[in-house]
């Protein structure tokens, strides 16, 4: 087959993959792959140096025969001359570099093997095709084109509204469930056939061997970056990732390491110790001095009397319920499940439920999942389902109270790790969340060190004032301290510090 002028790939098309991803698009979306990414059967693909998540995607590839421009969905299939097999490889480590364009993560040399044979579409329909993929001889993908949300003719018609599809252009039509990660030493095979057609025509097996690249990325472009969500999405599910870890094929989740609320978090062990016993009210006063007055997550209360919470924010956003959006976004590994499945030790899961109390946003299973993963707590401005069961867990949960409803009454789980509003406060991933019986506040990370120091000092002074009041001192002049009382306080604390140093 001649080198195509364009290689166009569809993001999501198979319902099995949509279920796995937890979203169902209303219309197809696309990205382009460069011709330099093409590779033949029997070739190799390099997993780039410094990456870990090279994923395969077995696909049915359409080869355009007669050019198509402004054609109808009913006529689109007529412009497809041949069908062949393709493998749409991608590196999840580079997905963040180019957002949806996939230039770096799917455009590498050898990242689009295609072939080995092309089958004529003459006499065959667009629903007659099957794609199967094997990894090291094990069948991992098996689906048919009659299940597609966006049939081949519709893809051709849609694309022809925007550009002329020319003879030889290739359209990769999406991958079914089963896409996962391969490592150096693995062999991937993709076959497309028409099993019910006369003679059962087949492309043969498109074989690609995975090797390890050795050339590192330079400092003049985006570097590979991996997080737990990327690992879980790349492997297909947390269970599949865990099995791969057990088999020595995958890197463990970062959430199993450390307890400082996330790499690079300003919430160090020293600051945690400094804030031990410091009231939220005291910290809020320090923030007020700096102009931060809308930092309260209002209306939430702890599920255990005496609970406190301190950690780094991980966010989850719900939007108002709508049947079509719920159908598209609430199934599979949806945003709610992703948030609870990827929360790290020391993080507080903060849920934007728009202040709607009349529905559950957290239940016993999800709360237990967060506890098992080492989360520092959960804060939601909505309700909690299975409230009595959640109370039995150790994890602090701050909410508006109990409500028995399940997901789907008032909310659609929408996205994670974005800026949200919770209880009237803006919360960004990485903000510091602190709570006690008085309430929950949000501390911007860059203010944490100075606010913690000031609040700790103020808490110490307030304790001294309370002691003076208990001894019978009048409040006037003492709270807040005037110059006379301030001098007494500083003299006593200086003496106490000296005594402590001498004992040491």
Return binding residues for Mg(2+): 386
Token pair belonging to 281:
């009210």
Window from 84-88, 213-217, 394-398, 425-429 with minimum mean pLDDT: 213-217
Residue 327: helix, strand or coil by DSSP?
helix
CATH number of the domain located at residue range(s) 269-447 in this protein = 3.50.30.40
Pairing of strands 90-91, 112-113: unpaired
Which position has the higher pLDDT, 13 or 405?
A: 13
Which of 126-140, 152-166, 252-266, 304-318 comes out lowest in average pLDDT? 252-266
Tell me the average pLDDT across 2-7: 90
Both structure tokens of 189? 């095979």
State the first-to-last Cα distance of the chain, in angstroms, to the nearest integer: 83
pTM, rounded to two decimals: 0.58
How many whole angstroms separate alpha carbon 147 and alpha carbon 149?
7
Pair 188, 56: CB distance under 8 Å: yes
Q: What are the angstrom distances between the C-alpha of 37 and each of 46, 164, 335?
A: 12, 22, 32
**What are the binding residues?**
363-366, 385-386
Task: Quote the pLDDT of residue 503.
Answer: 52
Q: What is the pLDDT of residue 263?
A: 45
Q: Which of 191 and 242 is assigned the larger pLDDT? A: 191
Least Cα distance to 145 among 114, 118, 120, 172 occurs for 172
User: Which residues line the annotated binding site for substrate?
Assistant: 363-366, 385
Highest mean pLDDT, choosing among 169-183, 223-237, 256-270, 272-286: 169-183
Asked whether residue 98 carries a pLDDT value surpassing 90, the answer given is: no
pLDDT for the residue 333: 81
What's 52-120 look like in SS3?
CCEECCEEEEEEECCCECCCCHHHHHHHEEEEEEEECCEEHHHHHHCHHHCHHHHCCCCCEEECCCCEE
The residue extents of the domains of the chain are 7-246, 269-447, 449-503
Q: Has residue 480 got a pLDDT over 70?
A: yes
CATH annotation of 7-246:
3.90.850.10
pLDDT recorded at residue 260 = 40
Q: Are residues 350 and 420 in contact, defined by beta-carbon separation less than 8 angstroms?
A: yes
SS3 sequence, 273-295? HHHCCCCHHHHHHHHHHCCCCCC
- Beta strand pairing status for 377-380 and 347-352? parallel
What b/e string do you get for 316-349 counting C-beta neighbours within 10 Å, with b at 16 or more?
Answer: bbbbebeeebbebbbbbbbbbbbbbbbbbbbbbb
| d(C-alpha 140, C-alpha 134), whole Å | 5
Structure tokens at 406: 């399940």
Query: Is residue 497 very low, low, confident or very high in pLDDT (cuts 50, 70, 90)?
Result: low
Element (H, E) at 470: helix 448-470
């Amino acid at each position: 087959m001649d080198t195509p002028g364009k290689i166009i790939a569809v993001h999501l098309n198979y319902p099995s993959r949509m279920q796995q991803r937890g979203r169902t698009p209303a219309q197809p979306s696309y990205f382009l792959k460069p011709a330099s990414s093409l590779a033949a059967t029997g070739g190799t693909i390099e997993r780039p140096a410094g990456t870990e998540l090279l994923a395969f995607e077995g696909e049915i590839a359409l080869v355009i025969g007669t050019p198509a421009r402004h054609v109808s969905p009913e006529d689109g299939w007529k412009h497809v001359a041949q069908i062949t097999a393709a493998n749409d490889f991608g590196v999840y480590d580079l997905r963040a570099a180019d957002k949806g364009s996939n230039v770096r993560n799917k455009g590498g040399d050898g990242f689009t093997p295609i072939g080995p044979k092309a089958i004529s579409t003459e006499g065959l329909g667009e629903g007659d095709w099957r794609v199967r993929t094997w990894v090291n001889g094990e069948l991992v993908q098996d689906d048919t084109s009659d299940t597609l949300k966006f049939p081949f003719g519709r893809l051709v018609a849609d694309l022809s509204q925007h550009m002329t599809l020319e003879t030889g252009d290739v359209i990769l039509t999406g991958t079914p469930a089963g896409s996962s990660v391969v490592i150096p030493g693995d062999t991937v095979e993709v076959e497309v056939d028409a099993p019910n057609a006369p003679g059962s025509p087949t492309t043969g097996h498109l074989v690609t061997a995975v090797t390890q690249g050795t050339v590192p990325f330079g400092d003049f472009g985006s570097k590979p970056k991996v997080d737990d969500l990327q690992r879980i999405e790349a492997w297909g599910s947390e269970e599949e990732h865990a099995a791969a870890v057990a088999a020595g094929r995958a890197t463990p989740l970062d959430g199993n390491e450390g307890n400082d609320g996330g790499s690079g978090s300003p919430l160090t062990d020293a600051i945690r110790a400094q804030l031990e016993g410091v009231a939220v009210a005291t910290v809020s006063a320090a923030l007020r001095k700096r102009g931060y007055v809308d930092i309260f997550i209002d209306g939430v209360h702890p599920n255990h009397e005496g609970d406190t919470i301190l950690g780094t924010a991980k966010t989850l956003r719900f939007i108002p319920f709508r049947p079509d959006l719920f159908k598209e976004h609430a199934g599979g590994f949806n945003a709610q499940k992703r948030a609870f499945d990827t929360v790290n030790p020391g993080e507080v899961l903060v849920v934007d439920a728009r202040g709607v109390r009349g529905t559950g946003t957290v239940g016993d299973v999800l709360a237990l999942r967060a506890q098992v993963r080492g989360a520092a707590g959960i804060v939601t401005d909505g309700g909690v389902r299975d409230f009595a069961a959640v109370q039995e867990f150790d994890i602090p949960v701050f909410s508006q109270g109990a409500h028995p409803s399940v997901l789907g009454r008032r909310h659609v789980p929408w996205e994670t790790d974005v800026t949200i509003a919770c209880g009237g406060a803006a919360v960004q991933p990485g903000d510091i969340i602190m709570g006690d019986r008085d309430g929950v506040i949000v501390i911007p990370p860059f203010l944490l060190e100075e606010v913690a120091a000031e609040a700790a000092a103020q808490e110490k002074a307030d304790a001294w004032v309370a002691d003076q009041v208990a001894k019978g001192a009048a409040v006037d002049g003492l709270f807040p301290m005037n110059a006379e009382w301030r001098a007494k306080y500083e003299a006593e604390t200086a003496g106490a510090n000296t005594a402590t140093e001498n004992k040491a």
